[in-house]
């Protein structure tokens, strides 16, 4: 008697599992975070499984800056990907990716069932890597000794964001002041490799030279601006050195064409 009850219980569990398989949809991706260099290709993976008798509908949507748009709809690639992408089963291979393709992409698989609409989804984030562009640099042509001078370097195209190095007369400046030969020459400056700022608290005649900046983000070769000469003159003015500071403004930059990702 007990064995019959156990058999009935097992049959009931198997029946429930078969029922879930008949109406269930499972979706997954092989890679949730995809990176690709600009102008190369990227694969957005989407795989699904369904129960018996289910005819699923596959759609892809792009989510970028709060906007949602179709990229695969009614069995066709649409929008930005039309003409430069292809479907491989339910996955998308994008050729010639651009920085504008950086976004989240959602693969949605749905099907009507006896229990209503059943939907499952998987999301893939695509990051397009863009090489640094030649930076714009601000270097004063002249300065008075003992004054504060700030140089700036900036480029807006690289993704990830660029880091910066400064050079004087072809020799790289160390990030922290007061090291090595610079300590002997009593140079006082602060360099920020993230922002590209080179700040001299008190310039001296020894700081005269040609300066240029180099931008790099690990994608492609480093890029540099043209060298510019700064001439430091003796300060014969009665004006206190602390009263003067050269600080460039944003309008001094000559930006290269940039895209916002």
Q: Does domain 25-129 have CATH number 2.60.40.10?
A: yes
Which pLDDT score is estimated for 101? Answer: 96
pLDDT of residue 248: 62
- pLDDT per residue as tens digits for the range 204-252: 999 999 999 999 999 999 999 999 999 999 877 544 544 555 556 555 5
Direct distance between the N- and C-terminal alpha carbons of the chain, in angstroms, rounded to an integer: 69
| pLDDT greater at residue 123 or residue 113 | 123
Question: What is the third-level CATH fold of 136-252?
Answer: Immunoglobulin-like (2.60.40)
Please report the pLDDT score of residue 63 as a whole number: 97
Q: Count CA atoms within 13 Å of residue 75 on its CB side.
A: 1
- The model's pLDDT over 92-117, given as tens digits with 9 standing for 90+, comes to 999 999 999 999 999 999 987 767 77
pLDDT > 70 in the chain, percent: 76
pLDDT over threshold 80, residue 89:
yes
Could you read off the pLDDT of 142-157 as tens digits, one per residue?
A: 999 999 999 999 999 9
- Identify the pLDDT of residue 251: 54
**What pLDDT, on the 0 to 100 scale, is given for residue 86?**
97
Domain boundaries defined on the chain: 25-129, 136-252
Strand partners for 199: 150, 190
Segment 134-147 shows an average pLDDT of 96
pTM for the model stands at: 0.71
User: Does this chain's domain 25-129 share its CATH topology with 136-252?
Assistant: yes
pLDDT, residue 53, reads 77
114-119, long-range: CB within 8 Å, 24+ apart, which pairs?
Answer: 114/23, 115/23, 118/23, 118/24, 118/25, 118/54, 119/25
Sign of torsion over alpha carbons 182, 183, 188, 189:
positive
At 178-214, the pLDDT tens digits run 444 444 455 579 999 999 999 999 999 999 999 999 9
Which residue(s) pair with 106 in the sheet? Answer: 61, 123
Query: 132 with 155: CB under 8 angstroms?
Result: yes
């Amino acid at each position: 008697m007990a064995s019959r009850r156990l058999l009935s219980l097992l049959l009931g569990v198997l029946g429930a599992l078969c029922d879930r398989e008949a109406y269930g949809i499972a979706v997954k991706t092989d890679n949730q975070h995809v990176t690709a260099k600009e102008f190369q290709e990227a694969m957005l993976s989407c795989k699904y499984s369904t129960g018996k008798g289910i005819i699923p509908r596959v759609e892809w949507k792009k989510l970028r800056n709060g906007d949602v748009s179709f990229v695969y709809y009614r069995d066709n690639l649409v929008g930005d990907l039309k003409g430069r992408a292809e479907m491989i089963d339910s996955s998308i291979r994008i050729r010639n990716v651009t920085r504008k393709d950086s976004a989240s992409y959602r693969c949605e698989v749905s099907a009507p069932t006896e229990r209503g609409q059943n939907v499952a989804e998987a999301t893939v984030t695509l990051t397009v890597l863009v090489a640094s562009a030649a930076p714009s640099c601000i270097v004063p042509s002249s300065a008075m000794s003992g004054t504060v001078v700030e140089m700036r370097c900036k480029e807006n195209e690289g993704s990830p964001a660029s880091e910066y190095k400064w050079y004087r007369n072809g020799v790289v400046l160390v990030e922290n002041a007061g090291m090595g030969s610079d300590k002997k020459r009593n140079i006082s400056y602060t360099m920020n490799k993230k922002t590209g700022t080179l700040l001299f608290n008190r310039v001296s005649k020894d700081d005269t030279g040609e300066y240029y900046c180099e931008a790099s983000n690990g994608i492609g070769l480093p890029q540099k601006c043209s060298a510019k000469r700064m001439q430091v003159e003796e300060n014969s003015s009665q004006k206190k050195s602390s009263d003067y500071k050269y600080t460039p403004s944003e309008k001094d930059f000559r930006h290269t064409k940039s895209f916002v990702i």
